[in-house]
Amino acid sequence: MEQDSDQLSILRHSASHVLAQAVKDLFPEVRLGIGPATADGFYYDFAVKTPFTQDNLELIENKMREIAAEDLPFKRQAVTKEEALKIFKDLGENYKIELLGEIEDDKVTLFQQGNFIDLCRGPHLKRTGELKAFKLLSVASSYWRGDEKRESLQRIYGTAFAGQDELERFLEAVEEAKKRDHRKLGRELDLFSFHEEAGAGLVYWHPKGMAVRSVIEDFWKAEHIKRGYELVSVPHIARGNLWQVSGHYEFYRENMYFLNTSNGEYVLKPMNCPGHILIYQRQRHSYRELPIRYAELGTVYRQERTGVLHGMFRVRGFTQDDAHIFCAPEQVLDELVAVLDLAAFMLKSFGFTDYEIDLSVRGKDTTKFAGSDAQWQNAEENLLKAIEARNFTYRRVEGEAVFYGPKIDIKLLGALGQGWQGPTIQFDFNLPGRFGVNYTGADGKPHPVVMIHRTVLGSMERFVGILIEHYGGAFPVWLAPVQVKILTISKKYAQYAREIYLRMRDAGLRVELDDRAEKIGLKVREAEMEKVPYIVVVGEKEEISDTVSVRSHLKGELGRINLEEFLQKLQSEIENKA
């Protein structure tokens, strides 16, 4: 499997070189950026005066097919850095010259096919003719080196596979993903919006979106209270010195928003943990009180680069389903296992059974992380024991830990198999030491607390976005913003429809009434487009028999049903989260 993955990466990286050659052949004035393989395909960045269009993509793709048909060999050349600099200066490729300036070795490698040459380590396919199944997908803006202060570039995305069947399956999945895109469905279903005039990456929740979010939050709160958590809430800002003590100034400053006031510097909180620590420290705690579990649906703000913002999945202001557990060292493993159990329960309740688990640890550059080697090893061992206690399959990922400790990341799989961050469990030996967070042991002496940070959904914004795509906007009845929509065949039955509406509303259902003087076919189509789980149609027969004609969004016509029987069916589905 690993070899197949490597071969696919080589294929896609080779395709990016063919893409760059095609662009240079068609648009000689273009300057080259970089072109790596990705998890789903490849891309190449170009500096252009006029942005590429969809027509350009078709032209470029046809040119790529010509280059593939020429069956050109990929030729590797090892040259001195001085020789490479001359080549790219003659070509006017200033971005390649910049990259060369960062290479310490005296020797570099170039790859050439036909009249195209590029700075690259390789490896590549032997010949362009091996590239048979590929497709250009889209074009987007990017920045050189991902830095918003640098030049704006055009990025062309594509994908490539070993065979046409695989490519076609992928393209079908892409089309399905487009239909399920939470940004598209969020607009169509009137769930949320973004407003550039108010600031990028900030979500505005509409009434229907808030209905979904409120159901999730109520369920979350009830389940946490049941499992021994206490709900807290901390302010959105705090003095700058609090974040100096926590270490965020040193390790996280570039992601923080600062407020300079007449009373000194304040920070718009990027995390909730220092606030929870202050609540814990308001009094001394005995070992008999531990573990103490504080939970909060806390909104935080992080200064993400514009280029990485992505709908609800990557925003600048979001609400974490946050919690912090203060415990003694001997309680750590039990608490970690309990959090994994809670996370698995929550995900299953929302219909997720397919996810990946990463054990995220320090990378080779340990200067970016706080704490000693012994602390990191102990923390990693505890997280690993918790994973193994539940027989979860996982992978170890270098360099993805947070600065104060390693973590378990659970990623929910999207329509294209991409992982979106969901629950995370973080072991922290840093903040308790920085804040002097202790408990009184059986010996009457203070002992350092172990602190566990965790979310079991992630952020509300991202989780709702994932839910939208998971269900294609057709939420199960317990989550749906509108659970039932009542439609009248004509105005004559408006009173009966109103009575049903009130009975359903009083039963706690989220229900809407459409008694407009429109044709029933139109009203049914509109309700179907809104993906309402159940449509109730009332007319003469229904009024006489005290029944309703029910249509399920997923199953179609269910026929005429006694109203009380239908209400019981709905309540059962809601209680069972069907």
DSSP structure class, residue 391: T
Contact 463, 422 (CB under 8 A): yes
Decide if 407 is catalytic: yes
Decide if 302 is catalytic: yes
Provide the 3-class DSSP secondary structure of residue 525: helix
In angstroms, the CA 294 to CA 227 distance is: 11
* Look-up of token digits 């012994």: 374
Distance between start and end Cα atoms, the chain: 36
21, 112, 113, 320: the catalytic one is: 320
Torsion sign (Cα): 23, 25, 29, 33? positive
Decide if 324 is catalytic: yes
181, 322, 428, 514: the catalytic one is: 322
Contact 158, 41 (CB under 8 A): yes
Structure tokens at 421: 């961050």
In angstroms, the CA 471 to CA 132 distance is: 34
* Look-up of token digits 């027509």: 55
Side chain identity, residue 446:
P
Q: What is the dihedral of CA 216, 221, 227, 230, to 10 degrees?
A: 150
* Look-up of token digits 């919690």: 323
Structure tokens at 218: 């109520």
Nearest to 462 by CA among 162, 216, 145, 96: 216
293, 324, 470, 553: the catalytic one is: 324
Sequence-distant (6+) residues with CB within 8 A of 436 are none
Side chain identity, residue 52:
F
314, 453, 510, 553: the catalytic one is: 453
407, 454, 470, 523: the catalytic one is: 407
Side chain identity, residue 193:
S
Structure tokens at 457: 């959904």
Structure tokens at 577: 């989260």
Torsion sign (Cα): 224, 229, 235, 237? negative
* Look-up of token digits 């514009």: 306
In angstroms, the CA 564 to CA 569 distance is: 9
12, 269, 273, 470: the catalytic one is: 273
155, 293, 302, 551: the catalytic one is: 302
- Peptide bond just before 123 cis, omega within 30 deg: yes
Enzyme catalytic residues:
273, 302, 320, 322, 324, 407, 453
